[in-house]
């Protein structure tokens, strides 16, 4: 078995983060432009070690992404989309 490449590592980080946040990996929203943006942000993230540490120490589920994550906004939108239609006030 070979070590994952940089791109594969970031893909693994995103996959693990989505899993911790209770998000379905096969949903249409994950396959779109938002996911591509999230992967690009992850590749350029200066907090890779903090991310690995967070993933290693967090329980199996988390309510939201950590503040240092440049994809916290995208993950929040994924969570809102998967929780159902938004209520109109």
Tens of pLDDT, residue by residue over 38-82, are 999 999 999 999 999 999 998 889 999 999 999 999 999 888 887
Evaluate whether residue 57 is within a structural domain.
Answer: yes
Give first-to-last CA distance, the chain, whole Å: 54
What's residue 82's pLDDT? Answer: 79
Model confidence, pTM: 0.75
Evaluate whether residue 86 is within a structural domain.
Answer: no
Evaluate whether residue 87 is within a structural domain.
Answer: no
Q: How long, in residues, is the chain?
A: 89
Asked if residue 30 lies in contact with residue 78, where contact means CB atoms within 8 angstroms, the answer is yes
| Tally of domains in the chain | 1
Which residue range(s) make up the domain with 54?
Answer: 6-80
Evaluate whether residue 88 is within a structural domain.
Answer: no
Evaluate whether residue 85 is within a structural domain.
Answer: no
Lowest mean pLDDT among 1-5, 26-30, 55-59, 72-76: 1-5
């Amino acid at each position: 078995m070979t070590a994952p490449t940089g791109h594969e590592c970031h893909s693994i980080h995103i996959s693990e983060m989505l899993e911790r946040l209770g998000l379905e990996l096969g949903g249409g929203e994950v396959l779109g432009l938002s996911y591509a943006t999230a992967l690009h942000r992850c590749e350029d993230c200066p907090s890779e070690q903090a991310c690995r540490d967070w993933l290693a120490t967090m329980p199996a589920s988390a309510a939201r992404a950590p503040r240092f994550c440049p994809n916290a906004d995208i993950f929040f939108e994924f969570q809102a989309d998967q929780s159902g239609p938004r209520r109109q006030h």
